[in-house]
Structure 1
Amino acid sequence: MRLHNAFTRRGFIISGAALLSLCTTISIGRAQNTKAQKASFDLNAANQLIRQTASLADQRKWQDLSRLFSTKVLLDYGYPELLGPQEIVDRWQPLLSEFDTTSHQLSQIEVREQDGRILASSRFSASHVLKDVLGGDRWTLEGRYEYELENQDGTLKVMRMRMIPEKSSGNTKVLDEAKQRSGITEPVRNHTVEHVTFESGGDTLKGWLYKPANPKANEVIIAAGSWTTVKEQMPMLYAKRFAEEGLTTLIFDFRGYGESEGQPRHYESPRRKTDDFKAAISFVSGRPELKKAKITILGVCASAGYAAQATAEDTRVSRLALVAPWLHNPEIARRNYTARPGVSPNGYDGLLNQGRDARKIYEKTGEVRFVASASTSDSYAAMYIPSPGIYDYYFNTNRGLLPQWGNQFAVLSWTEWLTYDSHASAPQIRVPTVIVHSENGAIPDGAKAFINALTNQPKVHWIGGSQLDFYDGEAKIREALAFVTAFINAPQVS
Structure 2
Amino acid sequence: MKKRQFINLTLTAPLVLTFRDLLAKETRNREVQMENLKLDTKWDKVFKQSDKVDHSKVTFHNRYGVTLAADLYIPKNASGRLPAIAVSGPFGAVKEQSSGLYAQTLAENGFITLAFDPSFTGESGGEPRYIASPDLNTEDFNAAVDYLSNRKDVDPEKIGILGICGFGGMAINAAAADPRIKATVTSTMYDMSRVNANGYFDAENTAKDRNEKRAAISAQRTKDYAAGSYQRTQGLPDKLTGEEPKFVKDYFDYYKTPRGFHPRSVNSTKGWNTTMPISFINMPLMTYASEIKTPVLIIHGEKAHSVYFSKDAYARLKGDNKELLIIPGASHVDLYDNKAGVIPWKKIVEFYKKNL
TM-score bracket for this pair, using the shorter chain length: 0.7 to 0.9
For the Cα contact (< 8 Å) 2:198–2:210, is it kept in 1? Answer: yes
| Structure-2 residue corresponding to 1:267 | 131
Match of 1:325 among 164, 185, 189: 189
Please tell me whether residue 415 in structure 1 is matched to residue 275 in structure 2. no
- Cα 1:271/1:240, change in 2 over 3 Å: same
For the Cα contact (< 8 Å) 2:46–2:96, is it kept in 1? Answer: no
In the alignment, the residues of structure 1 paired with residue 50 and residue 274 of structure 2 have an alpha-carbon distance, to the nearest angstrom, of 44
Using the TM superposition, give the Cα deviation of residue 333 of structure 1 relative to its aligned residue in structure 2, in angstroms.
4.4
Q: Secondary structure at the match of 1:288?
A: coil
User: What is the alpha-carbon root mean square deviation over aligned residues?
Assistant: 3.3
Q: Secondary structure at the match of 1:292?
A: strand
| Structure-2 residue corresponding to 1:115 | none
Q: Secondary structure at the match of 2:253?
A: helix
Match of 2:97 among 233, 257, 261: 233
For the Cα contact (< 8 Å) 2:157–2:180, is it kept in 1? Answer: no
- Cα 1:337/1:454, change in 2 over 3 Å: closer
| Structure-2 residue corresponding to 1:82 | 45
Please tell me whether residue 208 in structure 1 is matched to residue 171 in structure 2. no
Match of 2:234 among 348, 356, 372: 372
1:46-83, Cα deviation, whole Å (9 max, x unpaired): xxxxxxxxxxxxxxxxxxxxxxxxxxxx772xxx2437
- Cα 1:297/1:395, change in 2 over 3 Å: closer
Q: Secondary structure at the match of 2:309?
A: helix
- Cα 1:12/1:297, change in 2 over 3 Å: closer
In the alignment, the residues of structure 2 paired with residue 210 and residue 395 of structure 1 have an alpha-carbon distance, to the nearest angstrom, of 24
Letter in 2 for 1:428: E
For the Cα contact (< 8 Å) 1:354–1:414, is it kept in 2? Answer: no
- Cα 1:188/1:488, change in 2 over 3 Å: closer
In the alignment, the residues of structure 2 paired with residue 220 and residue 366 of structure 1 have an alpha-carbon distance, to the nearest angstrom, of 42
- Cα 1:336/1:290, change in 2 over 3 Å: same
Match of 1:392 among 226, 246, 252: 252
Letter in 1 for 2:232: F
In the alignment, the residues of structure 2 paired with residue 245 and residue 396 of structure 1 have an alpha-carbon distance, to the nearest angstrom, of 30
Using the TM superposition, give the Cα deviation of residue 361 of structure 1 relative to its aligned residue in structure 2, in angstroms.
4.5
- Cα 1:198/1:244, change in 2 over 3 Å: same
For the Cα contact (< 8 Å) 1:212–1:244, is it kept in 2? Answer: yes
In the alignment, the residues of structure 2 paired with residue 466 and residue 83 of structure 1 have an alpha-carbon distance, to the nearest angstrom, of 20
Structure with bigger strand share is 1
| Structure-2 residue corresponding to 1:287 | 151
| Structure-2 residue corresponding to 1:450 | 313
TM-score normalized by the length of structure 2: 0.76
- Cα 1:467/1:188, change in 2 over 3 Å: closer
For the Cα contact (< 8 Å) 2:142–2:174, is it kept in 1? Answer: yes
For the Cα contact (< 8 Å) 2:53–2:75, is it kept in 1? Answer: yes
How do 1:94-173 residues align onto structure 2 when only pairs under 5 Å count? Answer: none
In the alignment, the residues of structure 1 paired with residue 229 and residue 41 of structure 2 have an alpha-carbon distance, to the nearest angstrom, of 33
Q: Secondary structure at the match of 2:45?
A: strand
In the alignment, the residues of structure 1 paired with residue 265 and residue 151 of structure 2 have an alpha-carbon distance, to the nearest angstrom, of 29
The alignment of Structure 1 onto Structure 2 pairs a total of residues equal to: 308
Q: Secondary structure at the match of 1:229?
A: coil
TM-score normalized by the length of structure 1: 0.56
Q: Secondary structure at the match of 2:217?
A: helix
For the Cα contact (< 8 Å) 2:169–2:190, is it kept in 1? Answer: yes
Letter in 2 for 1:82: K
Using the TM superposition, give the Cα deviation of residue 389 of structure 1 relative to its aligned residue in structure 2, in angstroms.
3.0
| Structure-2 residue corresponding to 1:302 | 166
- Cα 1:256/1:331, change in 2 over 3 Å: closer
Please tell me whether residue 424 in structure 1 is matched to residue 279 in structure 2. no
1:296-332, Cα deviation, whole Å (9 max, x unpaired): 1100110011111111111211111111111255488
Using the TM superposition, give the Cα deviation of residue 337 of structure 1 relative to its aligned residue in structure 2, in angstroms.
7.9
Using the TM superposition, give the Cα deviation of residue 394 of structure 1 relative to its aligned residue in structure 2, in angstroms.
4.7
Q: Secondary structure at the match of 1:470?
A: helix
Structure 1 vs Structure 2: percent identity of aligned residues? 26
Using the TM superposition, give the Cα deviation of residue 291 of structure 1 relative to its aligned residue in structure 2, in angstroms.
4.4
Using the TM superposition, give the Cα deviation of residue 450 of structure 1 relative to its aligned residue in structure 2, in angstroms.
1.4
For the Cα contact (< 8 Å) 2:56–2:73, is it kept in 1? Answer: yes
Alignment gaps of 5+ in structure 1: 1-10, 14-73, 88-186, 379-383
Q: Secondary structure at the match of 2:57?
A: strand
Alignment gaps of 5+ in structure 2: 1-36
- Cα 1:463/1:261, change in 2 over 3 Å: same
Please tell me whether residue 468 in structure 1 is matched to residue 341 in structure 2. no
1:10-48, Cα deviation, whole Å (9 max, x unpaired): x979xxxxxxxxxxxxxxxxxxxxxxxxxxxxxxxxxxx
Structure with bigger helix share is 2
Using the TM superposition, give the Cα deviation of residue 192 of structure 1 relative to its aligned residue in structure 2, in angstroms.
0.7
Please tell me whether residue 192 in structure 1 is matched to residue 192 in structure 2. no
Q: Secondary structure at the match of 2:294?
A: coil
- Cα 1:389/1:361, change in 2 over 3 Å: closer
